[in-house]
């Protein structure tokens, strides 16, 4: 009765939440380090953005809007991308989506069929793996080298391109490792894409949550390779539940016009993204405030503490995160032979201690033996959690 495409879907981040709910029902306290939602912790959506959304509703902006997005919002996105990344875009290059997830769905629906392939970083956000398979495509992981601070293995990427490859995904900062690709690495990937006449899909949702390194925007460094950028308001503007993102098409030689037009047809078929959230997003871009910088300042302290504590646990190795709010330690299951793999460990830890993390194998083959933790909780909670993990592994 159920299609094979649905039977094969897995999403480790939310799947572990189902077990967490069972643990909560049993009366045990759960420490959530599994969901990358800052609003669930001590980061609040700024009042002026909330007021803008309420004002839009009260003033009657509750109707279907343009399927590509409210024109004024698309204009503000063009200005934002021009000011931040020096990209020259028009409103016709912008598509407002219901979160970046819908953007991923749109792009992969236009590229994947008949076992076509997309190159994605390994480890990678599981939605790329799921949606590629959902549309009868194959996600092929190129290595992020843990021995080299999760830097992309350019030689591995190059070797994995063939006649079925349709695009290269570049996610920086990366979920789950937190690595930020260097300018040299980004340029090398763009050059490879150009050699093989491939577009680059650039997931930029964490581009404002960066600690020491400098962010490199692929579109700012491309002269002829088409870039489909994805960004949104969930993370930097603390509006996760509003489900508002956007795609931009940087295509100086009009190589992906047909894909762009086809995705626009899909957007029209689903009507539009949240109308009142779009009007609030206009306010967020016109008046960016200090909330993003304040969040990054807090997160850096929490990241530093997480890195320090995890390094002190015997049998655990970890690289520091350059951006986003995740850290991805590796556990030596030869030393901790009680558990066969990372999933078994994560479920056991959750059921016995209430500490909820995500098993690394849910992020692809290169995530095996790892655990993803978010360092969004306050310092007091993080201290409790790392004490529990350290004691449990002992």
Predicted pLDDT of residue 12: 67
Q: How far apart are CA 174 and CA 141, in angstroms?
A: 13
The pLDDT score that the predictor gives to residue 363 is 96
Neighbour order of strands in the sheet with 227-232:
94-97, 245-250, 227-232, 200-203, 165-171, 117-122, 138-145, 151-152
Rounded to the nearest 10°, the torsion over CA 255, 259, 260, 265 is: 160
DSSP state of 214: P
- Identify the CATH number of the domain defined by range 4-44+291-393: 3.90.1150.10
Query: Helices in the chain by DSSP H: which ranges?
Result: 4-7, 12-25, 47-58, 71-85, 99-111, 126-134, 154-159, 183-195, 257-269, 275-286, 291-311, 342-353, 379-393
Could you give the CA distance from residue 389 to residue 394 in angstroms, rounded to a whole number?
Answer: 9
pTM: 0.95
Going by C-alpha positions, the residue among 375, 41, 103 that lies closest to residue 243 is: 103
Distances (CA, A) of 161 to 111, 149, 348: 15, 24, 39
Six-digit token string for 229: 């950028």
The pairing of strands 138-145 and 151-152 is antiparallel
Q: How many CB atoms lie within 10 A of CB 292?
A: 17
Stretches where the chain sits below pLDDT 70 are: 11-12
Parse the chain into domains and list their residue ranges. Answer: 4-44+291-393, 47-286
Q: What are phi and psi of 98, to 5 degrees?
A: -80, 75
The string of pLDDT tens digits covering residues 34-62 is 999 999 999 999 999 999 999 999 999 99
- As a whole number of angstroms, the distance between CA 127 and CA 14 comes to 11
CATH architecture of 47-286: 3-Layer(aba) Sandwich (3.40)
Continuous H helices in 137-214: 154-159, 183-195
Per residue in 217-238, pLDDT (tens digit) is: 999 999 999 999 999 999 999 9
pLDDT in tens, 340-363: 999 999 999 999 999 999 999 999
- Which positions ≥6 away from 87 have C-beta within 8 Å? 81, 217, 219, 220, 229, 248, 250
DSSP for 118-136 reads EEEEES--HHHHHHHHHTT
Tokens 């150009």 correspond to what residue? 194
The pLDDT score that the predictor gives to residue 1 is: 75
> How far is residue 189 from each of residues 118, 152, 198, 214, 248, measured CA to CA in Å?
14, 9, 10, 17, 19
């Amino acid at each position: 009765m159920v299609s094979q495409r649905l039977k094969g879907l897995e999403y480790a981040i939310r799947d572990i939440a189902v077990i967490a709910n069972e643990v909560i029902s049993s009366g045990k306290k759960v420490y959530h380090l599994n969901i990358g939602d800052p609003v669930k912790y001590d980061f609040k959506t700024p009042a002026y953005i909330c007021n803008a959304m309420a004002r839009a509703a009260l003033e009657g902006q509750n109707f279907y809007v343009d399927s590509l997005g409210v024109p004024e919002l698309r204009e503000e996105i063009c200005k934002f991308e021009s000011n931040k990344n020096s990209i020259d875009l028009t409103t016709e290059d912008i598509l407002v989506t219901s979160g970046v997830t819908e953007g991923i769905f749109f792009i992969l629906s236009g590229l994947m069929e008949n076992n076509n392939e997309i190159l994605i970083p390994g480890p990678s956000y599981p939605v790329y793996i799921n949606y590629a398979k959902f549309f009868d495509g194959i996600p092929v992981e190129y290595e992020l080298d843990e021995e080299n601070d999760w830097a992309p293995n350019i030689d591995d990427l190059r070797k994995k391109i063939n006649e079925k490859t349709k695009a290269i995904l570049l996610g920086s900062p990366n979920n789950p490792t937190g690595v930020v690709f260097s300018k040299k690495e980004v340029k090398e990937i763009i050059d490879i894409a150009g050699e093989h006449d491939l577009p680059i899909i650039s997931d930029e949702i964490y581009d404002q949550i960066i600690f020491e390194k400098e962010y490199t925007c692929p579109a700012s460094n491309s002269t002829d390779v088409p870039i489909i950028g994805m960004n949104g308001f969930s993370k930097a503007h603390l509006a996760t539940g509003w489900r508002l993102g956007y795609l931009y098409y940087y295509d100086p030689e009009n190589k992906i016009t047909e894909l762009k037009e086809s995705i626009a047809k899909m957007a029209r078929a689903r009507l539009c993204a949240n109308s009142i959230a779009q009007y609030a997003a206009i306010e967020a871009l016109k008046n960016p405030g200090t909330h993003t910088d304040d969040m990054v300042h807090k997160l850096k302290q929490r990241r530093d503490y997480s890195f320090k504590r995890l390094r002190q646990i015997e049998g655990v190795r970890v690289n520091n995160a350059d951006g986003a709010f995740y850290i991805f330690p590796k556990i030596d299951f030869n030393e901790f032979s009680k558990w066969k793999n990372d999933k078994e460990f994560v479920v056991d830890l959750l059921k016995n201690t209430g500490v909820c993390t995500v098993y690394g194998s849910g992020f692809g083959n290169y995530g095996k033996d790892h655990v993803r933790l978010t360092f969004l909780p306050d310092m007091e909670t993080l201290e409790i959690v790392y004490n529990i993990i350290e004691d449990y592994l002992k």
